[in-house]
Amino acid sequence: MSVNLSRRNSLKTIGAAFCVPFFMKMNLFAAENATKNFKIIKDGEVITGAHWGVLKLTIKNGKIVKSEPLNKTSSIKNPLQHYTADLVYAKDRVKYPYVRKSYLENPDSPKPELRGSDEWVRVSYDKAIKLIANELKKTIKASGNTSVFAGSYGWKSPGNMQNARILLHRFMNQIGGFTGTLGDYSTGASQIIMPHVLGTIEVYEQQTSWPLVLENADVVVIWGADPYSTLKIAWTVSDEQGLKYLEELKKSGKKVIFIDPIKNATCKFLNAQWIAPLPNTDVAMMLGMMYELYESKKYDQKFIETYTTGFDKFLPYLLGKTDNTPKTPKWASQICKIDEKTIKELAHTLYDNKTMIMSGWGMQRAHHGEQPHWALVTLCAMLGQIGKPGCGFGLSYHYSNGGTPDAKAGIVGGISSGAANVGTGQSWLQKATDSAFPLARISDALLNPGKTIDHNGKKITYPKIDFIYWAGGNPLVHHQNTNELVKAWKKPRTVVVNEIYWTPTARMADIVMPVTTIYERDDISMIGDYANLGITPMKQAVEKIGESKNDYEIFTDLAAEFGVKDKYTENKSDIDWIKEFYESARDQAKKMQLEELNGVVMKPFEEFWADNKPITFLQTQEGFEYNRYGDFREDPILEPLGTPSGLIEIYSEVIEKMNYDDCKAHPTWFEPIEWLGMKKKPAEFHLVTSHPEDRLHSQLNNTSLRDEYAI
C-alpha cells in the first residue's frame, strides 16, 4: 500500500476527518421522541436554532426546562447554548404594550426630555397599534417619509421569516419609504475601503478553507481577533465548525503568532506567541514590517509586478521620500511600543514560511479605520503568498465559521423589504431606501439635521428626523458614545421600539411593543452563514408570554391601518412564507439532483416540519479545496478582481480623486485622535472593549449565565 498521498487524496482525508457532523447523512439529527405534529407540545423535545447553534429543547408541562446543543462538534464549551429557558422567562420581559405617560397625554407635545425617566402606562394592543399608525401618518403628512428613521440594525432573530429589520423596512416601503442607514457597526470602515483595494467588501466573504490552511500553512498569525470567543455565535444559526477547526489548529503544532493589545482567550487556548502593540497602532507596525521586507530584499517583487498596481507610488511614502519620515522598524517601534528586533523578526518569519494571516475587525473600528486592512493587504502582497493554498490573508475566520467548507445545498430564502421575495443575503448591507446615512452617524444625524457630510466620494445631507421606529436591535448598548446618543435620542417627537426585554433602548422609547422570542414563534434558517451545511426548523416551542406578538403580526396590523395589508402579506401567514422559502430550497435541491448524487432527501414541507429535525447537506470536494484568490493568482487576466485595474490596488486613483486629507490614495499611518502616544493624553489607560465569551453583545446578559462570570 502506497503511503504517498496526492493533494486531492490528502484533502479527501482531511475532509473525512473534519466534516463531522455535517458530512454525515440526515439521520445524524434524529431526535428521540421528536414531535410529529404542528401543535405546541406540552411534553417532549423540540429542535430549533439560535445564533449559538442547533438546539434541542426539553419541554415539560408547557415550559422549557432544558436546552442543549443537538450535537457537539468540539470539546470547547459553549455556555450560551444552555440558557434558553432564562431568555423566555426573564424577569425583564416586555409582556404588554406600554406608552410613556407624557406621550400618551399629549403626543403633539410629548416632553421628549423625559424619555428614559417618565412613567409607563399599559395600554391595549389595539390602542397601541392605532396610536403608532396615527402618529406615523401625522409625521409623514407634516414632514414626508424621510422624517421617519427606520434603520434598525442589530443582532435580531437568526430566522429567515421573523427578520425584524426586513419586516420593518417592508412595511415602511409599502407606505412610501423611510430614512435608513448604510453599512454596519462591525466593519463600517473596511467594507468601504476594501472594494477600492480588492473589488469586494471582503469582510463577509467565504475564506480559504480551514482544511487547506491546516494542510499547507506553517505559520498562522491571528491579528486583532478572538475566535475562541466570537465563534460561539453566528449571524444565522451557527454550524459550530469554527471552534472545531480552532482545536485542530492547536493540535497541529503549527507556529501561531497572536498580535493584540490583550492576551485574550484565543491566545491562551492556542498557547501562541503574544505580541502586544499599543491599541490603534497596527498600521505603523505593518509599515515597519514592510520597510524591513523591502530593505532586506525579501519581498516578492514578481507578485507585486504581476498582481498589484500602485506599489511604485506607495514606495516613496514607505521610504520617507514624501514626508521625510522613513517607516523603519525603529520608527514603528516608537509608535506601537514593540521593540525593533521583534518587528524585524516577525517580518522575516512571515516571509520565510508559508503564512496565513487571520485578521479581526477591531483594528478598523477606530479613527482612520480605513487604513489597517488596506495596510494588511499591502503587507501580504509584499509577502507574495496571496492565492497560494492555505496562505495569504483572511478577514472573516473569526466570524460565523468562515473557512468551513461549503456544502451543495438548496438555499432557504427570506422575506424581502420590497414587493418581490429576493432572499436574505447580507440584507443589513443592502440599501433599502433612497434616503440613508452611515449607521455610526445616528447621533450626528439626529443632532444636526441639514448637515452635509462626505462619504466614499459622495455628499450626504441628513434629513430632519421626527419619528424613530426600531425593531430587532439595541443601539443604546452597541452604538459608540452612549451619552451623545442619549442626548440625540431625545430630539425626535416619537420613538417606537419593538422589544422582547426592557433594554436601555426600550426604556428610551415612547411606545414599546412586546415581541416574542425565537422560541415562541415559527421560523426557519440555514445552518451556517458561509457553508450552508443544513436547514433547521425553528418551531414554536412554548406559548407566547403575555401579549407578546411576532414582528410579522405587528407590522401586518400596522399595514392594515394604512390599507396595505394584502400588499404587505401577499395573503400569506407566517407558516405560508416559511413553507414557500423551504419549497424554493427543495426545488433547487431537485435541480441539483442532491438525492441522486448525495442521498440528501428534502421531503415535502409538511413532512419536514413534522419530522422535527434538520436536514444536512454534504460538503463538496470543491469546498474543501476552496482557495480564495487562487484563480486570480493562476490567471489575473482571465480572473480579474473587481477593481478598476482588475488588480490589488495598493494605490487607488479613485480615492486620489476624492482628495480627502484624512484618507490618502495609499495605506497611511495617521495619528488617532485619541491614543496612548498622545503628547497630552487625558488618561494613562486605553479602554479596549473586546467581545465577551458569555453573551452576544447584550443578549443573555439578563440570564443566570451572568452569575457565572459577573463580579
The DSSP call for residue 258 is E
- pLDDT higher than threshold 90 for residue 452: yes
State phi, psi for 285 to the nearest 5 degrees. Answer: -60, -45
Q: What angle do CA 268, 269, 274 make, to 5 degrees?
A: 35
Residue 558 pLDDT = 99
Report DSSP state, residue 206. P
Whether 6 has a pLDDT exceeding 50, the answer reads no
Q: What is the mean pLDDT of residues 94-123?
A: 98
What is residue 703's predicted lDDT score, i.e. its pLDDT? 84
| Sequence-distant (≥ 6) Cβ neighbours of residue 643 within 8 angstroms | 195, 196, 197, 198, 199, 649, 652
Q: Is the pLDDT of residue 652 over 80?
A: yes
Average pLDDT over residues 482-503: 98
Would you tell me how many other CB atoms lie within 10 Å of the CB of residue 32? Answer: 7
> Could you tell me how many helices (H) and strands (E) the chain has, helices first?
28, 23
State residue 25's pLDDT score.
35
- Evaluate whether 508 touches 486 at the Cβ level (below 8 Å): yes
Summarised one tens digit per residue, pLDDT across range 224-237 is 999 999 999 999 99
CA 649, 259, 195: angle at the middle one, nearest 5? Answer: 20
Q: Which residues belong to CATH 3.40.228.10 in the chain?
A: 190-405+626-658
pLDDT bracket for residue 10 (50, 70, 90): very low
| CATH class of the structural domain 98-186+426-621 | alpha beta
- What's the CA dihedral at 671, 676, 677, 681 to 10 degrees? 100
**pLDDT tens across 371-404, in order?**
999 999 999 999 999 999 999 999 999 999 999 9
Q: For the chain, how long is the longest CA-to-CA vector?
A: 86
User: Mapped to the 3 state alphabet, what secondary structure does 81-108 carry?
Assistant: HHCHHHHHCCCCECCCCEEEHHHHHCCC
DSSP-derived secondary structure letter, 549: B
| Least confident piece of the model among 417-421, 537-541, 611-615, 620-624 | 417-421
Confidence label for 702 from pLDDT (cuts 50, 70 and 90): confident
C-alpha cell belonging to residue 144: 414626508
For residue 361, indicate whether it is catalytic.
Answer: no
Q: Which of 411, 422, 409 is nearest to 592 (CA)?
A: 409
Picking from 30-34, 56-60, 181-185, which range would have the lowest pLDDT averaged per residue? 30-34
Given 153, 210, 351, 361, the catalytic residue: 153
Amino acid at 307: Y
- Of the residues 120, 125, 155, 502, only one is catalytic, namely 155
Question: Other CB atoms closer than 10 Å to residue 452's CB: what's the count?
Answer: 10
- At 690 the pLDDT is 87
CA distance 620 to 184: 32
Average pLDDT over residues 347-368: 98
For the cut 60, the answer to whether the pLDDT of residue 503 exceeds it is yes
Residues 571 and 279: their CA atoms lie apart, in Å, by 53
How many C-beta atoms lie closer than 10 Å to residue 704's C-beta?
12
Residue appearing with cell numbers 522613513: 326
pLDDT at position 222 = 99
Which pLDDT score is estimated for 28?
A: 33
Place of cell 422567562: 89
Q: Using an 8 Å Cβ cutoff, are 616 and 29 in contact?
A: yes
Nearest to 190 by CA among 45, 344, 372: 372
Q: Judging by DSSP bridges, how do beta strands 44-50 and 53-60 pair with one another? A: antiparallel
Residue 512 C-beta-side C-alpha neighbours within 13 Å? 27
Residue 334, CA distances (Å) to 328, 669, 687 in order: 10, 13, 21
Average pLDDT over every residue of 475-489: 94
For 331-341, write each residue's pLDDT tens digit. 999 999 999 99
Strand 355-359 vs strand 392-394: parallel, antiparallel, or unpaired?
Answer: parallel
Q: What letter would DSSP give residue 146? A: G
Residues carrying CATH 3.40.50.740, the chain: 98-186+426-621
- pLDDT for residue 37 is more than 80: no
Instruction: Please state, in angstroms and rounded to a whole number, the distance separating the CA atoms of residues 151 and 592.
Output: 37
CB distance 368 to 332 below 8 Å? no
Please name every residue paired with 537 in a beta bridge, in sequence order, or none if there are none. Answer: 524
Q: Does the active-site annotation cover 675?
A: no
Cell 491566545, located at residue: 267
For residues 138 and 75, what is the distance between their CA atoms, to the nearest angstrom? 56
What pLDDT does residue 705 have?
84
pLDDT of 706: 86
Interacting residues of 526 by C-beta distance below 8 A, sequence separation 6+: 160, 236, 237, 409, 411, 412, 532, 534, 535, 536
Lowest pLDDT segment from 200-209, 366-375, 431-440, 631-640: 431-440
Contact yes or no for 256/249 (Cβ under 8 A): yes
What pLDDT is stored for residue 20 in this prediction?
A: 38
Query: What confidence score (pLDDT) does residue 421 get?
Result: 32
Distance CA 335, CA 343 (A): 12
Q: What is the mean pLDDT of the chain?
A: 92
Give start and end residues of each alpha helix (H) in 592-666.
Answer: 594-598, 605-611, 621-624, 630-634, 653-658
Section 233-242 average pLDDT:
96
The closest alpha carbon to 424, from 524, 351, 521, belongs to: 524
**DSSP class of residue 237?**
B
* Residue reference for cell 419586516: 167
Name the nearest CA neighbour of 125 among 587, 547, 460, 626: 547
Measured between alpha carbons, how far is 684 from 692 in angstroms, rounded to an integer?
24
**Which residue shows C-alpha cell 400569506?**
572
pLDDT band with cut points at 50, 70 and 90 for residue 701? confident
Of 209-223, 347-361, 424-438, 577-591, the one with minimum mean pLDDT is 424-438
Provide mean pLDDT across the span 124-133: 99
Q: What is the mean pLDDT of residues 559-576?
A: 98
pLDDT digit string, tens, across residues 441-450: 999 999 999 9
* pLDDT reading at 60 higher than 90: yes
What is the CA angle 501-502-505, rounded to 5? 105
The pLDDT-based confidence of 38 (bands split at 50, 70, 90) is: low
Q: In the predicted model, is pLDDT for residue 67 greater than 90?
A: yes
> Grid coordinates representing 170?
417592508
Neighbours of 302 (CB within 10 A): 9
Tell whether the model's pLDDT for residue 287 goes beyond 70.
yes
pTM: 0.92
Say if residues 159 and 525 touch (Cβ distance below 8 Å).
yes
Q: Does 603 or 693 have the greater pLDDT score? A: 603
Cis peptide before 389 (omega within 30 of 0): no
The whole-angstrom separation of Cα 410 and Cα 526 is 9
Q: Is residue 520 over pLDDT 50?
A: yes
> Looking at residue 433, what is its pLDDT?
60
Q: Show the cell assigned to 11.
A: 484533502
433 vs 82, more confident: 82
Residues ≥6 apart with Cβ < 8 Å to 542: 40, 59, 62, 63, 64, 88, 519, 520
- Are 616 and 534 within 8 A, CB to CB? yes
Res. 9: pLDDT tops 60: no
Taking alpha carbons only, the member of 408, 427, 412 closest to residue 580 is 412
Q: What is the CATH number of domain 190-405+626-658?
A: 3.40.228.10
